[in-house]
Structure formats: structure tokens, C-alpha cells
Copies of this chain bind each other. A is one copy, B any other.
């Protein structure tokens, strides 16, 4: 007789796959509440400890969300939820991979900015301009960084591809930018950054995708080139 459990890998790994399969097959909908840890463990015939490890793993992946005292829920499974872990890559990368990440950002940011130039609405454009103005109105590096992030975030949102926006978000996480830009901006790059942002803005106003693509690529490319010179 064939045993009911072929048993490959750890029980926790199997539990992770089981839950992912349930979601993939639609047996668990976004936002839905799961059975309790105790019940889930009993259903899969494993201990609560192992089930907790599986749940924790899916939690850090942005698939599940545990609410203390309430229950475990499936997230909305939106791009932002699932790609939050992308920031981990950016945070743990050093040396050559930082250049690769900036190259990736240059490709995506230029495309997103081009798409935004074609699609952006007056309301979205106003939001972009708000952060552009705030960025130019202060000398506090913290404020500048915050509005700089928001500036590009609004543009990415206007591009209409949530997945791309979520990845760009990860590639622009505070810790990532702080590490790379700290040195860059110390070299008096504020003025250049300001001009580049103005160029991007002009392209958006003109609804000129090609100009927007070029401006965004040049903007990120400047940092990318600088970073290359900083490597051994």
C-alpha cells in the first residue's frame, strides 16, 4: 500500500506549499480569514510549532498577515504586499550588485516615466509638482530625500503598472538611497539633481514620452556612473 505521505522536504516546507496551493487554486481568497493555527496544524497533521514557522514564512513574504488576538488573514495579494521583500535585496546588496540595481532602476524608471508622460492626469501632475516645489523649498536633507522619493513614487504610480511601481519602491527604499546618495550628494549634486527633476517635469507637462524617458534615464544614470567610480 502506498503511504499517504511521500514526505519530501521538511514538514514546514510542505505546509508552506500547501497553503500557497490553496491560494493559487482559489480556495483561499484575498482578505479571507484562515482557520486557527491549532486547527491548521491538525488539518495537515503537523505540530503547531511547525505550522507557526510556515505561517511566519508566508507572513514575511507578504502573503499572509497575522493579527494578534484576531486571526490569520490572506493579504490583498497586491503588488505592494508581495514585493515588499524586494527591499531586503536592496538593503543587503553591496559592491557590484548596487550598480546592477541602479542599472535596473534606470531601465524601469525611464520606462515608467515615459508611460507617465503619456498617461498622467492633471490631478496626478499637481501631486508631482507639490513634491517638486517642496523639494526645492528646503535645505534639510531629510526633507529633500522624502520629497524626492515621493516625487518619483507619484510618477511611477501614474505609469499605471502597480507591479513596476512596487519594484521601484523597493529600489528606492530609504535605507538603500541613504547608503548610495549620502556620498553622491555630498559632492554638491543638489543643483544638478534639481535641473534633472525640472527636465523630467517639463517632459511630463508636455506629455512627451521620449523626452521623459531620456530625462529619467539621465537622472538615474548620473548616480549610476558616480557609483561605478566608487568601486574598486
**Residues of A in contact with B (beta carbons under 8 Å apart):** 12, 16, 20, 23-24, 49, 52-53, 56-57, 59-61, 63, 77, 79, 82-83, 85-86, 88-89, 91-93, 97, 100-101, 103-104, 107-108, 111, 161-164, 167
**Whole-angstrom distance between the alpha carbons of A103 and B112 in the complex?**
11
In the complex, which residues of chain B have a beta carbon less than 8 angstroms from the beta carbon of A63?
Answer: 88, 92
In the complex, which residues of chain B have a beta carbon less than 8 angstroms from the beta carbon of A91?
Answer: 20, 24
Task: Tell me, rounded to whole Å, the shortest Cβ–Cβ distance linking A66 to chain B.
Answer: 9
B82 touches A92 (CB 8 A): yes
Cross-interface CB contact of A49 among B49, B59, B89, cutoff 8 Å: B49
B53 touches A79 (CB 8 A): no
Closest to A54 in B: B56
**Whole-angstrom distance between the alpha carbons of A125 and B209 in the complex?**
34
In the complex, which residues of chain B have a beta carbon less than 8 angstroms from the beta carbon of A164?
Answer: 100, 103-104, 107
**A interface SS class:** helix
In addition to A12-B56, A101-B163, 14 A-B residue pairs with Cβ atoms within 8 Å of each other are A20-B88, A24-B91, A56-B57, A57-B57, A57-B59, A61-B85, A63-B88, A79-B89, A79-B100, A82-B89, A82-B92, A83-B89, A86-B86, A104-B108
In the complex, which residues of chain B have a beta carbon less than 8 angstroms from the beta carbon of A92?
Answer: 20, 23-24, 63, 77, 82
Task: Tell me, rounded to whole Å, the shortest Cβ–Cβ distance linking A12 to chain B.
Answer: 6
**Whole-angstrom distance between the alpha carbons of A163 and B103 in the complex?**
9
**Whole-angstrom distance between the alpha carbons of A167 and B167 in the complex?**
11
The CB with the most chain B CB atoms within 10 A, among A77, A101, A161, is that of A161
User: 13 A-B residue contacts at CB 8 Å?
Assistant: A24-B92, A52-B53, A53-B56, A56-B56, A57-B60, A60-B60, A63-B88, A82-B89, A83-B89, A103-B161, A104-B163, A107-B107, A107-B108
